Every structure is written in C-alpha cells, then in structure tokens.
Amino acid sequence: MNTPDRKNWKKFIKRCRNRYMKIGYVKCPAFGNEKIYFTQAGFNHLLRKGRKLREKNDQIRRLTLVFHAPTILAVSTIVSSYERTYLRDSSADFWSFVGTRKEISITVVIRQLNGGRKHFFSIF
C-alpha cells in the first residue's frame, strides 16, 4: 500500500479510527469468553510507541492488520505468550495470540493494567 499524501493522511487515520472504535469488544475463548475491549489506548499504540510517532509505513501496516484482530481473538483458545511487568505501584499483564490470515502470521497483544479490563494493545 502506498503512503497517502499529506492531504489524505488525516482522512485515512480518521476512517481507520472510526472503523476501529466500532469494534467495541470481542469475546475471547482463551479467557473463558471474557470481553477484550478495543480502546483509544490501543488505537494510539498503533500510531505511537510511547510518545514517539511510528514511521508512516509501520502505522499503515498496523492499521491494516488490526482489522484481523477481532477474528483472531474470537477463535483463539491458546495463549502464545504471557508476561507481567511492574512499574512503581502498578502492574501490566500482556498476552499474545498468533493467527494466520492470507498466509501472513499476525500476533495480537492484549494488555491488562492493575487487574482492570483486558484490552487490545498491539499487533504485528
């Protein structure tokens, strides 16, 4: 996919954000059909890593892949990896799931902060 020109870049991001936010949540069998929410934090992570913007080609790749995430999560019964991190008085749990779409391996990352709701965090 070619990088949209500057004029169309904002429209492209807005269309992707609107489509992403319509996902809402997906029930995941690996978590006993617990809901995995698609939040603004997850969308922001598609565009940024921390406070730094990702390269446009990386943003486009992630924005294209993210629409496979609901299907991957809805059929996943096995967690590929799990990690817990600590920072001061908080914890973050991360689970990853791997799926294949059109012969491409896609990894979906779910995050949970301090035991709160699980939400989509990243895709690659």
3-state secondary structure string, the chain? CCCCCHHHHHHHHHHHHHHHHCCCEEEEHHHCCEEEECCHHHHHHHHEECCEECCHHHHHHHHHHHHHHHHHHHHCCCCCEEEEEEECCEEEEEEEEEEEECCEEEEEEEEEECCCCEEEEEEC
| Structural domains counted in the chain | 1
Q: Is residue 21 part of a domain?
A: yes
Q: Is residue 1 part of a domain?
A: no
Q: What is the pLDDT of residue 101?
A: 84
Q: Is residue 45 part of a domain?
A: yes
Q: Is the pLDDT of residue 21 over 60?
A: yes
pLDDT in tens, 66-100: 999 999 999 999 999 999 999 889 999 999 999 99
Q: Is residue 29 part of a domain?
A: yes
Determine contact, residues 100/59, Cβ cutoff 8 Å: no
Where in the sequence is the domain holding 113, given as residue range(s)?
Answer: 6-123
For the segment 23-31, the average pLDDT, to the nearest whole number, is 98
Q: Residue 21 — φ and ψ, nearest 5°? A: -65, -25
